[in-house]
């Protein structure tokens, strides 16, 4: 019996020693050890507290990419501020665009009874799709684009397109002449006027006599 008690005391002392060592190493609170001494022996139970499970951070959802901005081409003003029809694409010219230029250069009067020149007798070029060079020539020579003074009762416009511009054929009353159109910054502008069927010698830069 005495030997049993001594064994129990030894077990208790050993257990207390283990607890003291554990506390000295950092005061570990978990697992906790509870020792219960009895007259017949020692029962030791351990309770292990589990650490909380880490929660995964939510995956970031990428923001939708905005579509690229669309660049809108800026209209190009002509010599007097007028704009001319744009070509369908760089390097191409349509007959319809050339005809529209000819009709803009020689519009109908408000009552539709006659056709006049776009500069209103050489005073205002805001509605004339012509180059700066041609405007300077008209102002210097004090001549209109049709080389005429009076309104015409009839007007017909046709055109031949080229890769770089074209030729606009205009019949304005008794006057018949060609307008040489070129592309400037993607716009069609008239740069010369010649008598219909004539060569460079009939250019408005060389001669201002009526065609």
Please say if the pLDDT value at position 61 is more than 70: no
Per-residue pLDDT, averaged over 148-157, amounts to 93
pTM score above 0.85 = no
**Rounded Cα gap, residues 102 and 85, in angstroms:** 11
The confidence score (pLDDT) of residue 123 equals 73
Q: Are β-strands 165-172 and 175-184 bridged in parallel, bridged antiparallel, or unpaired?
A: antiparallel
CATH 3.10.450 domain position(s) in the chain = 95-202
**Rounded Cα gap, residues 154 and 160, in angstroms:** 21
What are the tens digits of pLDDT across the range 76-94? 444 444 544 444 444 578 9
The confidence score (pLDDT) of residue 25 equals 52
Q: In CATH, what class is 95-202?
A: alpha beta
The confidence score (pLDDT) of residue 121 equals 73
What are the tens digits of pLDDT across the range 20-45? 555 555 544 444 433 333 333 434 33
Token pair for residue 105?
């250069």
Per-residue pLDDT, averaged over 123-143, amounts to 92
Give the up-direction half-sphere exposure of residue 189: CA atoms within 13 A in the CB hemisphere.
Answer: 24
- In terms of Cα–Cα distance, which of 198, 191, 52 is closest to 209? 198
Residue written as tokens 């007007």?
Answer: 155
The confidence score (pLDDT) of residue 8 equals 55
Measured in residues, the chain has a length of 211
């Amino acid at each position: 019996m005495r030997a049993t008690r001594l064994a129990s005391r030894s077990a208790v002392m050993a257990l207390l020693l283990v607890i003291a060592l554990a506390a000295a190493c950092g005061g570990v609170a978990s697992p906790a050890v509870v020792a219960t001494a009895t007259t017949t022996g020692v029962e030791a139970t351990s309770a292990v507290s589990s650490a909380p499970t880490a929660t995964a951070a939510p995956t970031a959802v990428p923001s939708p990419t905005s579509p690229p901005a669309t660049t809108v081409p800026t209209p190009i003003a002509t010599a007097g501020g007028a704009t001319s029809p744009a070509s369908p694409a760089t390097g191409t010219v349509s007959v319809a665009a050339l005809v529209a230029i000819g009709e803009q250069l020689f519009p109908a009067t408000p009552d539709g009874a006659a056709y006049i020149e776009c500069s209103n007798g050489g005073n205002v070029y805001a509605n004339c799709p012509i180059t700066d060079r041609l405007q300077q020539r008209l102002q210097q020579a004090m001549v209109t684009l049709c080389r005429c003074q009076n309104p015409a009762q009839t007007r017909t416009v046709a055109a031949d397109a080229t890769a770089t511009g074209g030729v606009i054929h205009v019949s304005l009353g008794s006057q018949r002449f060609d307008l040489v159109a070129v592309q400037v910054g993607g716009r069609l502008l008239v740069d010369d006027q010649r008598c219909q069927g004539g060569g460079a010698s009939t250019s408005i830069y060389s001669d201002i006599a009526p065609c």
